[in-house]
C-alpha cells in the first residue's frame, strides 16, 4: 500500500470513529466556532461601515472643501466661491443650470430608539441641486421640503434608529420646531443617516450668515475632475481642495475602520490561541483513547508519516466544521443587523448594517483550518513517537 493510500485509509478510520469521541470533538468544534463567529462578527462591523460610507460616493461627483480642511465641520466656503465653482469648466449643467449644491453641516441631538439616550445626528442644509447630484436618492414617503420653510427630509436609516422621525411629527432643533415631511433612501449610503433641510433656513436658524461648509458638484465625466481642479487652482479668488466623492468617504471611514480592525484582529488572535489549546486537548485525548489502535497500525506496516498526516487532517476537519458553524451563525444572526455608531471624522452618528460577506467567512475558515492543523500537529507527533511495544503493553 502506498503512502497516499495509507493516509486515506487511516484518515477515513479516524473520521468514522469521531461519533465515539463526540464529547471531546464538540469541545474543539465549539471553540473554533466561537473564534470564527467573533472574527466574522467584529470585522463585519468594519465591512458594513465601509460599505455604507462608500455607497455615498460617485465617480462623477466631487466634494470641494476649504484648502487644508480634513472634513466638513472644519471647512468654510463663501457664496461667492460657490458661484465661481458653478461657472468653472468640467461642472455638468442640466437645462443650462450647473449641478452644484452648497451645503451646511450641523449636529443635532435626537434620542435613540434602543437606549432613549441622545445621540449626535447630522442635519444637512442643502440647495436644490443636491437632489440631482445624488443620483440614487428617492423619496419613499411624503415629499421634499419646501424652500424657506422649517421642514425636514429624514433618511430611512435615521428614521429606523432614532425616535420621533416619522412623517407628520415635529421636532425641536435650535430655537424652532421642524416639521418632518418626507423619508428618503439613497441606496443604503451614509446619506440615509442624515436629516435634510433648506440650507437658507439652516443658515438662519444657526446664525451662519451666508456661509457654507462644503460644495458638491456633478462632473461632465469622471475625467473632468482634472479640468475643474486646474481651473480652481489658477483662480486667485478661491483656495479649495477638490476631492472625488468616493475618495472623500474612504478617508472619512478610515479612522473608524482602523479602530474596529485594531480591536477585532487582536481579539481573534487571543481567542485563536485558546482554540488551539482546545484542539490540542481534544487530539491528545483522541490519541490516548486510540493508542492501541495506532500502535497496531504501525505494527502491521503503516508508516509513521501516514499516521501523523491523518491525525493532522482529522484535527483540521474538526476545525473546519467549527469554522462553518461559526461562520454560518454569524451570517444568520448578524448579516444585515442595523446599528449606529459615532463617526470620529464628523462627530455624528452613522447608521449601517453588519456585512458578513463571503470573503470574510473565507478568511474565518482559513483561520479555522490553521487552528486545526496547529492543534493537531503536536499530538500527531506524540502518536508516532511512542514505541509500538510500549503502546501495546500499556493498553
Distance CA 156, CA 196 (A): 12
pLDDT of residue 289: 62
Q: Half-sphere exposure of 242 toward its Cβ, with a 13 Å CA cutoff? A: 26
Beta-strand relationship, 348-353 and 338-343:
antiparallel
pTM over 0.85: no
pLDDT of residue 311: 78
pLDDT of residue 30: 83
Cα–Cα distance list, 40 to 35, 126, 151, 273, 337 (Å):
9, 38, 41, 17, 13
pLDDT of residue 95: 85
pLDDT of residue 147: 92
Sign of CA dihedral 306, 309, 312, 317: negative
Provide the terminal-to-terminal Cα distance of the chain, rounded to the nearest Å.
Answer: 27
Distance CA 267, CA 269 (A): 5
Tell me whether residue 387 is exposed, middle or buried, using C-beta atoms within 10 angstroms of its C-beta: 0 to 12, 13 to 18, 19 or more. exposed
Residues 6+ apart with CB under 8 A from 148: 198, 200, 201
Distance CA 320, CA 304 (A): 24
Q: Which helix (H) or strand (E) holds 244?
A: strand 240-244
Q: One digit per residue, pLDDT tens: the chain, 395 residues?
A: 566 777 777 777 667 777 777 777 787 788 888 888 888 888 888 788 777 777 667 889 999 999 988 888 889 999 999 999 999 999 999 888 999 999 998 989 999 988 888 888 999 999 999 998 988 889 999 999 999 999 999 999 999 999 999 999 999 987 889 999 999 999 888 889 999 999 999 999 998 888 899 999 999 999 999 999 999 999 999 999 999 988 888 887 777 777 777 777 787 777 777 777 776 777 676 666 666 666 676 777 777 777 778 878 888 888 899 899 999 999 998 888 877 776 766 666 777 788 888 888 998 899 888 888 887 777 777 777 766 666 555 54
Distance CA 285, CA 288 (A): 5
CB 157 within 8 A of CB 338: yes
Written as nine digits, the cell of 290 is 486510540
Amino acid at each position: 500500500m502506498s503512502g497516499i493510500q495509507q493516509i486515506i485509509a487511516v484518515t477515513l478510520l479516524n473520521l468514522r470513529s469521531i461519533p465515539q469521541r463526540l464529547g471531546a470533538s464538540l469541545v474543539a468544534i465549539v471553540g473554533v466556532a466561537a473564534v470564527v463567529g467573533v472574527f466574522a462578527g467584529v470585522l463585519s462591523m468594519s465591512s458594513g461601515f465601509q460599505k455604507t460610507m462608500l455607497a455615498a460616493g460617485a465617480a462623477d461627483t466631487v466634494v470641494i472643501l476649504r484648502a487644508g480642511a480634513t472634513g466638513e465641520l472644519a471647512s468654510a466656503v463663501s457664496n461667492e466661491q460657490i458661484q465661481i465653482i458653478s461657472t468653472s469648466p468640467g461642472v455638468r449643467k442640466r437645462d443650462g443650470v450647473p449641478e452644484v449644491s452648497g451645503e451646511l453641516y450641523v449636529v443635532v441631538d435626537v434620542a435613540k430608539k434602543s437606549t432613549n439616550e441622545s445621540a449626535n445626528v447630522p442635519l444637512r442644509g442643502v440647495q436644490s441641486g443636491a437632489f440631482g447630484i445624488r443620483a440614487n436618492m428617492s423619496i419613499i414617503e411624503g415629499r421634499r421640503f419646501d424652500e424657506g420653510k422649517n421642514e425636514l427630509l429624514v433618511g430611512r436609516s435615521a428614521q429606523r434608529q432614532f425616535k420621533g422621525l416619522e412623517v407628520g411629527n415635529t421636532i425641536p432643533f435650535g430655537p424652532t420646531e421642524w416639521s418632518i415631511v418626507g423619508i428618503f433612501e439613497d441606496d443604503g449610503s451614509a446619506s440615509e443617516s442624515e436629516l435634510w433641510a433648506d440650507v437658507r433656513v439652516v443658515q438662519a436658524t444657526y446664525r451662519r450668515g451666508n456661509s457654507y461648509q462644503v460644495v458638491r458638484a456633478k462632473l461632465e465625466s469622471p475625467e473632468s475632475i482634472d479640468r475643474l481642479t486646474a481651473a480652481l487652482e489658477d483662480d486667485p479668488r478661491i483656495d479649495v481642495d477638490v476631492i472625488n466623492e468616493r475618495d472623500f468617504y474612504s478617508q472619512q471611514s478610515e479612522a473608524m475602520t482602523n479602530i474596529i480592525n485594531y480591536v477585532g484582529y487582536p481579539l481573534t488572535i487571543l481567542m485563536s490561541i485558546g482554540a488551539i489549546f482546545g484542539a490540542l486537548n481534544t487530539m491528545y485525548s483522541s490519541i490516548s483513547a486510540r493508542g492501541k489502535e495506532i500502535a497496531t497500525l504501525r505494527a502491521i506496516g503503516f508508516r509513521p508519516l501516514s499516521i501523523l498526516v491523518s491525525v493532522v487532517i482529522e484535527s483540521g476537519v474538526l476545525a473546519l466544521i467549527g469554522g462553518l458553524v461559526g461562520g454560518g451563525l454569524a451570517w444568520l444572526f448578524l448579516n444585515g443587523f442595523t446599528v449606529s455608531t459615532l463617526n470620529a471624522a464628523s462627530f455624528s452618528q452613522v447608521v449601517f448594517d453588519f456585512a458578513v460577506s463571503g470573503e470574510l467567512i473565507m478568511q474565518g475558515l482559513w483561520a479555522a483550518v490553521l487552528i486545526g492543523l496547529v492543534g493537531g500537529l503536536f499530538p500527531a507527533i506524540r502518536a508516532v513517537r511512542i514505541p509500538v511495544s510500549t503502546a501495546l503493553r500499556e493498553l
